[in-house]
Amino acid sequence: MTKSVVLASASPRRTALLKQMNIAHTIQPADIDESPRLNETPLSLVSRLAAEKGQAVKAKLASKQTLTDDTVI
């Protein structure tokens, strides 16, 4: 049995990285507001967004393993 994760992102770069590592995955983008909050640091922002994406997607897909990530430039 091949294990697979759900990527809670539509990022082509993240998909390419998973393919490079031979990690089977499906893509399920999270529909969340990614706006930064007042005085939110970049580290706090990406941590919060990754957690919110994971929660949003996991709620739809009950028992699947979910991979989330976020970056800011």
Measured distance CA(60)–CA(35) in Å, rounded: 22
Which positions are annotated as active-site residues?
70
Measured distance CA(4)–CA(26) in Å, rounded: 7
CB 12 within 8 A of CB 25: no
Q: Please tell me whether the overall predicted TM-score, pTM, comes out greater than 0.85 for this model.
A: no
- Taking only the tens place, the pLDDT of each residue in 3-43 is 788 888 888 998 999 999 999 998 999 899 999 999 999 99
Measured distance CA(20)–CA(14) in Å, rounded: 10
Quick check: helix, strand or coil at residue 64?
coil
